[in-house]
Amino acid sequence: MRVHPWPRRLPLAILVAASVVYSATAQVHSSQAGPLPVALAQANAALQAGEADKALALLRAVPQSDASLAQAANLECRVRMTLEQWDAAISACERAIRIDGQNSNYHAWLGRALGEKADRASFLTAFGLAKRVRSEFEEAVRLDPRNASALADLGQFYEQAPGVVGGGIEKAGSIAAQLESVDPTRAHHLRGQIAEQRKDYGTAEREYKQAITSSPYPGSQWMELAGFYRRRQRWGDMESAIRSGDSAAQRDRVEGLALFDGASLLTETHRDPVQAAKMLDDYLAGSAKTEEAPAFAALIRLAHLRDQLGDPAAANRERAAALAMANEYKPAEDAGH
């Protein structure tokens, strides 16, 4: 997920820092094959809009005898992930797999939830969880070798994880080659990460730029390039890439996620809070909100910026709006006290 960086970082504690990169056209937010039943379609719409409480209420109303229980469990897993309730998310994802163990996406989502828990675990616990993450991603790819998001997850796991838990740069390179025919943008991004891991920063930058040119909706890829510049402490280049990503997102209205990511980069590097607030405002006002950047998380970030900019009344309104959407979201609860 990309709440901290779900936008999209799925770090595995000391062991792994896997990134999940989603193309704007892939609609991976709804990871079901085929159309959803009406009640679940409504729950998924609520999930994408950041209305976690509404989504959970709709899912609780699904009859236990319903044939779509696996889909409902997967949706619950994803709602719990937006709320940062990792144990509950894992439990729901495991339930989906018990019902339908042949669904590639269900295994991929379980891998992501396990990765989030590992990021907050002790070294020894994270070690065991990392092995489970790898197993779930590998199973997702085995079940569907053309599942681009699962391939990206697995490749980025291999790129970051040490050999003792099944990682390896060579393995990551093989996945990048596999991705080439499925999703060239993800392939370029993974190759950029591999080059960065090898400290070949010139190649990494070229690959991240190729990801931009290969994508029909490049806003998010501009923000990934900006993230690379942040890691290299190239602040001027980072800000320039964020401006380019903002322009792409304003032009291509499906790219709301790029606005969230750009605002996050500016906030985390203590740069241009006015622009960061504007990007979050634009994201929240748009129609391309996504579970990868929950609206209630955006509201909490915006509230911090309002405080920073000297508008505590507006900050309180943002916090109240976040709680109204996701009463169980702990950062919103903490911010309200």
pLDDT digit of tens for each residue in the chain (337 aa)? 333 333 343 343 323 323 333 333 333 333 444 567 888 999 999 999 999 999 999 999 888 777 799 999 999 999 999 999 999 999 999 999 999 999 999 999 999 999 999 998 888 899 999 999 999 999 999 999 999 999 999 999 999 999 999 999 999 999 999 999 999 999 999 999 999 999 999 999 999 999 999 999 999 999 999 999 999 999 999 999 999 999 999 998 888 999 999 999 999 999 999 999 999 999 999 999 999 999 999 999 999 999 999 999 999 999 999 999 999 998 876 765 5
Q: How far apart are CA 180 and CA 163, in angstroms?
A: 24
Longest dimension (CA), the chain: 57
Amino acid at 282: D
Q: What is the DSSP string of 253-311?
A: TT-HHHHHHHHHHHHHTT--HHHHHHHHHHHHHSS--BTTB-HHHHHHHHHHHHHHTT-
Task: Write down the pLDDT at residue 1.
Answer: 33
Measure Cα distances from 317 to 48, 52, 101, 314, 332 in Å. Answer: 21, 18, 43, 5, 12
**pTM, entire model:** 0.88
Q: Which two tokens stand for residue 37?
A: 């039943």
Task: Write down the pLDDT at residue 65.
Answer: 73
C-alpha torsion sign, points 230, 232, 237, 241? negative
Q: Which two tokens stand for residue 130?
A: 């990392």
b/e per residue 59-75 (b: at least 16 CB within 10 A): beebeeeeebbbbbbbb
Residue 334, Cβ density class (10 Å: 0-12 exposed, 13-18 middle, ≥19 buried): exposed
Q: How far apart are CA 279 and CA 262, in angstroms?
A: 7
Q: How far apart are CA 102 and CA 105, in angstroms?
A: 9
Q: How far apart are CA 262 and CA 268, in angstroms?
A: 10
